[in-house]
Structure 1
Amino acid sequence: MDRPTTPAIDIKRQDGTCRIALQGDWTALALADCGGARDLRSQLKSLANAPDSAEWTLAGVDRLDHIGAQLIWQAWQGKLPTHLTADEGQHRVFARIASLKTDGWKKRMVDRFNPITVLGAGILSMFMQLANGVTMLGQLAFDLLRFLRAPQRGPWREISANIYSIGYKALGITALVGFLIGIVLSYLSANQLRTFGASTFIVNILGMAVIRELGPVLAAILIAGRSGSAITAQIGVMRVTEELDAMSVMGISHGFRLIMPRVIALAVSMPLLVAWTDLLALLGGMTAARLQLDISYSYFLRQLPDAVPVANLWLGLGKGAVFGVLIALTACHFGLRIKPNTQSLGAGTTASVVTSITVVIVADAIIAILFKDVGI
């Protein structure tokens, strides 16, 4: 590769006219190798106030890239001079820079903060996302009917792969968090129950809190952060790599091949993860109760069915299935909204996790109100 020619500026003034000729290579490499690059910048800065009658010629410029063109563009104050001699390729480079800097090199004024506009935009965005969610839910219903009509043609491989990645691989983290939460809850309750001489009621508190509320919510929050973000990132990467566009061209339904398998996988995996989390949380609570209140494991297990009606168990498992469907739909919704760039991918994944957790908590509050008389 030839070594770049040193850039230079030749200024000639004759009979009241100014002729400015640029020579050499005006590229990033040439400017970096040039020991007098600072002098070139100062010369260009002094030419910023050159008269409109000045004649500029780039005939002596061998190579020109965006770095060199931007330095020249600054000397021209964001517009082409009246008298310019340049070839077609050089004109294209400057046209590209002009399209990026539409308002010259002046600093843009920042729009004033308008709370009414921000509130209105937020409300409109919320309604648009709700409309998209309802559309996705309707499409899911049609895809499920199609799947039930011809189950042999269903995406079984995708369903089983998602059950493995979402359910089996999450057993470790849910077990650890469930066990520790059981210990913490048991220790905190034991101190209060010992004060009132009601140590045996630790079974009622742990059983009801874990099986009815903490187990489903903890599992859902962990899966929203772990698997929900993964689903959004997977679909977002498919958008960035144009795989979603390729599927549309080939006539492959996004809902049938991407959304439905993940919804089914989470609806199947979440109740099992809830039961697993409940089991480990109760084990942690029994361990702490044994150490704090000297309540044996056998007594705890004998009293648990009487303290917690079985309806609470079914309610907790049902919550898990509902939470799984909501997490899958939210993650797929934000995944499909990602634009083909890395910044949108990161923002979409973050928004997916936050929204999934919020939706889970809101849904848990609604279910708690609707089923307040069940299992009590």
Structure 2
Amino acid sequence: MALPVPVQTSRQNVAQTVVFAAGVCRLVGDWGVQILSARTEVEHRRQAMSAATGAAGGVKGWDLTGITRLDAVGAQLLWQFWGQKFPDGLQLTDSQQALFKVLAEHPIEPVVPPPPIDWFGWVATLGKGFYIALDHGRGLLILLGGLLLNFWGMLKRPIHGPWREISAQVFRTGAQALGITALVGFLIGIVLSYLSAQQLAVFGAGQFIVKLLGVSIVRELGPVLAAILVAGRSGSSITAQIGVMRVTQELDAMQVMGISEGQRLILPRVIALGLTMPMLVLWTDTMALLGGMLAAKFELGLSVVWFAERLPDAIGIKNYWIGIIKGVTFGAWIALVACHFGLRIEPNTESLGKGTTASVVTAITGVILIDAIYAIIFNEMNI
């Protein structure tokens, strides 16, 4: 017959509280809050019970009838040790059974300590963001290099160029975008003219609204506004189209068939947006100036004919060319970013949504950054 194996739980508690014999773990002594208030006592008793369960043969039963005092604290300690369920072969008194029944009906979630404060977590976050930005920059450079090679190949053999795809993209990104660009441009022109007229009227300088509207719209607001609209409309559409092709494995089929992604997908979209964006910029400028002209007539009483006659001298041909140059750059940038994120989409719907959102945000941010760079360059050149 196996001899009982008493376990000394702590130096302060001399009584034997955990005794393991013949596969039965017998608990005796005081299991109340006063004795368990010391953290070391709780750890010692938990270690003693763990040693019993880890012994050869394991614990086949628990006997709690020898406990002289058991309150909610001691019962909670045992309940958590048992994994919040009654073990096999459990022997309890009536009062103990009632106490454990309450614990079973109203379980208490263990208190999770708060995570330690990571004072240098921002360094890792910054490094991760920098690495992701470098990875995307590398991907864009590779995509740009392949685009230039495909464009050179099209120039050498124009008969094999993707002309049908280019014409289709010109229609989708250009002709179908005339409505939204006209509406937004017209409204922006009205708002800008109305607010400017209120301030100019205070100083009796209402005639200067022609130059104010002309330069601000043709040089800055028109190209940026058109680019933002195209990035949200056509850029997201391009990313979603290529992403769906990734999800449906059409891109894999193109690679198997030997069809170049750059020749049939990327090049037509970049060329199309590079061609349509300058025209959309001029179209947006026209509608914005028209809206500003009407607002100036009703707010300042300026004649539409007088406004139109002074508009060419107020703007200058160089501002038109600046807007056209920005339009070409913005269009190529939006198409390149849209294709880049479209090709990086993984074959699942969640990645498709994230990729489309990232494409639009990156394209718009890049448009504003490029516009700032142009402003610095033109200022240094006194243009």
TM-score by length of structure 2 reads 0.69
Selected match of 1:293 from 268, 282, 300:
300
- Percent identical pairs in the alignment equals 59
Answer yes or no: is 1:131 the counterpart of 2:106: no
After superposition, the Cα gap between the structure-2 partners of 1:245 and 1:184, relative to the gap in structure 1 and judged at 3 Å, is same
Answer yes or no: is 1:121 the counterpart of 2:119: no
Answer yes or no: is 1:192 the counterpart of 2:199: yes
Selected match of 2:322 from 292, 315, 318:
315
Residue pairs, 1:234-249, within 5 angstroms: 234-249=241-256
Residue pairs, 1:237-276, within 5 angstroms: 237-276=244-283
Contact 1:239 1:336 in 2 (8 A): yes
Contact 1:312 1:374 in 2 (8 A): no
Answer yes or no: is 1:207 the counterpart of 2:214: yes
Contact 1:236 1:336 in 2 (8 A): yes
Answer yes or no: is 1:369 the counterpart of 2:376: yes
Displacement of 1:255: 0.8
Residue pairs, 1:77-88, within 5 angstroms: none
TM-score by length of structure 1 reads 0.70
Contact 1:312 1:375 in 2 (8 A): no
Answer yes or no: is 1:172 the counterpart of 2:179: yes
Cα distance between partner residues in 1 of 2:117 and 2:189: 50
Aligned to 1:332: 339
Aligned to 1:21: none
Cα distance between partner residues in 1 of 2:277 and 2:182: 14
Aligned to 2:313: 306
1:148-191 CA distances to partner (integer Å, 9 max, x unpaired)?
Answer: 01111111111111111110111000000000000000000001
Contact 1:319 1:364 in 2 (8 A): yes
Aligned to 2:165: 158
Cα distance between partner residues in 1 of 2:116 and 2:244: 33
Aligned to 2:286: 279
1:244-277 CA distances to partner (integer Å, 9 max, x unpaired)?
Answer: 1111111111111100000000000000000000
Q: Which amino acid aligns with 2:211?
A: N
Selected match of 1:352 from 355, 359, 364:
359
Displacement of 1:326: 0.3
Displacement of 1:53: 12
Task: Structure 2 unaligned segments of length 5 or more: list them.
Answer: 1-56, 61-82, 84-111
Displacement of 1:309: 1.1
Contact 1:225 1:353 in 2 (8 A): yes
Residue pairs, 1:137-156, within 5 angstroms: 137-156=144-163
1:285-328 CA distances to partner (integer Å, 9 max, x unpaired)?
Answer: 00000001111111111111111110000110110010000000
- Structure 1 residue matching 2:363: 3-state secondary structure: helix
- Structure 2 residue matching 1:372: 3-state secondary structure: helix
Answer yes or no: is 1:229 the counterpart of 2:231: no
Q: Which amino acid aligns with 2:191?
A: V
Q: Which amino acid aligns with 1:348?
A: G
Residue pairs, 1:91-106, within 5 angstroms: none
Displacement of 1:112: 7.7
- Structure number with bigger Rg: 2
Cα distance between partner residues in 2 of 1:242 and 1:272: 35
- Structure 1 residue matching 2:379: 3-state secondary structure: coil
Cα distance between partner residues in 1 of 2:169 and 2:116: 46
1:51-75 CA distances to partner (integer Å, 9 max, x unpaired)?
Answer: 9999xxxxxxxxxxxxxxxxxxxxx
Cα distance between partner residues in 2 of 1:132 and 1:274: 28
Q: CA RMSD in A?
A: 2.1
After superposition, the Cα gap between the structure-2 partners of 1:110 and 1:349, relative to the gap in structure 1 and judged at 3 Å, is farther
Cα distance between partner residues in 2 of 1:301 and 1:375: 27
After superposition, the Cα gap between the structure-2 partners of 1:112 and 1:161, relative to the gap in structure 1 and judged at 3 Å, is farther
After superposition, the Cα gap between the structure-2 partners of 1:258 and 1:53, relative to the gap in structure 1 and judged at 3 Å, is farther
Cα distance between partner residues in 2 of 1:261 and 1:220: 18
- Structure 1 residue matching 2:301: 3-state secondary structure: coil
Q: Which amino acid aligns with 2:236?
A: S
Displacement of 1:111: 10
Cα distance between partner residues in 2 of 1:231 and 1:311: 32
Displacement of 1:202: 0.5
Cα distance between partner residues in 2 of 1:291 and 1:350: 41
Task: Structure 1 unaligned segments of length 5 or more: list them.
Answer: 1-50, 55-76, 78-106
- Structure 2 residue matching 1:371: 3-state secondary structure: helix
After superposition, the Cα gap between the structure-2 partners of 1:146 and 1:112, relative to the gap in structure 1 and judged at 3 Å, is farther
Cα distance between partner residues in 2 of 1:324 and 1:191: 35
Cα distance between partner residues in 2 of 1:111 and 1:314: 58
Displacement of 1:117: 1.5
